Amino acid sequence: MKRLLAFHVISRHTLRLHPPWHRLGRTTCLLLYAEHWICIEGNIASGKTTCLEYFSKTSNLEVLTEPVSKWRNIQGHNPLALMYQDPVRWGLTLQTYVQLTMLDRHLSTMSAPVRMMERSIYSAKYIFVENLYRSGKMPEVDFAVLSEWFDWITSNIDIPVDLIVYLQTTPQTCYERLTQRCREEEKVIPLEYLETIHQLYEDWLINQMSFKVPAPVLVIPANHDLQKMLHQYEEHRGKILMGSK
Ligand SMILES: Nc1ncnc2c1ncn2[C@@H]1O[C@H](COP(=O)(O)OP(=O)(O)O)[C@@H](O)[C@H]1O
Ligand SMILES: Cc1cn([C@H]2C[C@H](O)[C@@H](COP(=O)(O)O)O2)c(=O)[nH]c1=O
């Protein structure tokens, strides 16, 4: 039992950064693989936070929401609002901070064997940085700096992801939910923006033709009303939490 508790506070990256982890007992090493890391992915306002909220009532499960509040307030500045106002000028600023805060989430000490996290360092790069760059709103040099940072992080630090749950919606549904949520910074978002983000997600996770997918993908259709969504989460509970069929 002691070993089990000890295991909970040792994450894989800690072991990697502080060798020699191979000296740990055999039991500990076996238990390492009992960890289960799930990332919930989807377009803006697709229902990720709502999904996390629902699963947060599950025992032995830790939920990590996106650090949006940090993106809206760093020492009194709002890089999220700045980016929407002037993406060419502030895209790098926001995305640098997103990358840092996502990495911090990935590396934070686990308090339960199952961890469910909203988005990931991967989608920040493959969806949002990529979108800024492809749409001509991120200068080439900014994209190069972010890309080198991302490549360094992902080749030198172990970022375990065991399952990606993709909440698949239409851009129109997200537009309606986003309008209803009414986050101040996002009032300038047009439907076309959500269409582009949607396509980037589809190419990454469904068509798997743009970037490496770091884990198996479970697709959950997410246009449905809340009741049906909760029903679907129950249906998929085993698959999501344990990776079982
Ligand atoms: N299945 C659903 N049907 C209708 N509205 C929903 C549904 N899921 C979430 N919402 C609402 O849509 C908005 C965005 O949901 P949220 O969970 O914050 O999305 P995300 O975290 O993906 O941005 C919120 O106002 C939320 O209450
Ligand atoms: C990861 C990431 C997010 N954003 C923006 C997109 C949205 O306006 C918010 C996140 O809200 P959501 O409801 O959880 O989708 O942040 C961004 O601009 N860049 C990013 O890398």
Chain segment 16-25, per-residue pLDDT in tens: 333 344 444 4
Are 28 and 104 in the same domain?
no
CA of 117 to the centre of ligand 2 (A): 14
In tens, the pLDDT along 16-73 reads 333 344 444 444 444 444 689 999 999 999 999 999 999 999 999 999 999 999 999 9
Are 121 and 106 within 8 A, CB to CB? yes
Ligand 2 contact via 186 beta carbon (within 6 Å): yes
Q: For residue 105, what are the domain limits?
A: 35-242
Are 15 and 47 in the same domain?
no
Q: What is the pLDDT of residue 220?
A: 98
CA of 23 to the centre of ligand 2 (A): 41
Region 148-154: mean pLDDT is 98
**Tokens (6 digits) for 147:** 């890309």
Region 61-89: mean pLDDT is 98
Q: Which protein residue has the closest C-alpha to ligand 1 atom 9?
A: 47
Are 29 and 43 in the same domain?
no
Pocket test for ligand 1, best of 177, 182, 186, 223 (most atoms within 8 A of CB): 177
**Domain at 49, CATH number:** 3.40.50.300
**Tokens (6 digits) for 135:** 């749409």
Would the pLDDT of 8 be above 90? no
Are 198 and 225 in the same domain?
yes
Ligand 1 contact via 45 beta carbon (within 6 Å): yes
| Domain tally, the chain | 2
Are 22 and 99 in the same domain?
no
Chain centroid to Cα 177, Å, comes to 19
Instruction: Confirm whether 130 is a catalytic residue.
Output: no
In tens, the pLDDT along 97-124 reads 999 999 999 999 999 999 999 999 999 9
